[in-house]
Amino acid sequence: MFKIVKRRTPTGRIVLVRGRKRPRIAICARCKKPLHGVPIKIPSEIRRLSKSKRRPSRPFGGYLCSSCAREYFREKARKIGG
């Protein structure tokens, strides 16, 4: 959660402070492309957002990108259809 960073004080001294780690952008689990519609925020900030702003509401939203999800649904439909 926290990472030690060097910060210069107004007097010129360099001190070590605990800075917050920046959250990473969400990526697709299959093609590793960055996902759209997923905020780059820490979990406590994401909890404060409305539900519709947290991740896409479709199945696998926030886990697979739209094209990978589409491919997955097609594959699944083909298997059921025989």
Binding site for Zn ion (CB under 5 A): 28, 30-31, 65, 68
Residue 46 phi/psi, 5-degree rounding, is: -65, -35
CB of 65 vs Zn ion, minimal distance in Å: 3
10 token code pair: 């107004």
Q: In Å, how far from its chain's centre is CA 61?
A: 11
Closer residue to Zn ion (CB): 5 or 31: 31
CB of 67 vs Zn ion, minimal distance in Å: 6
CB of 28 vs Zn ion, minimal distance in Å: 3
Distance, CA of 58 to CA of 78 (rounded, Å)? 20
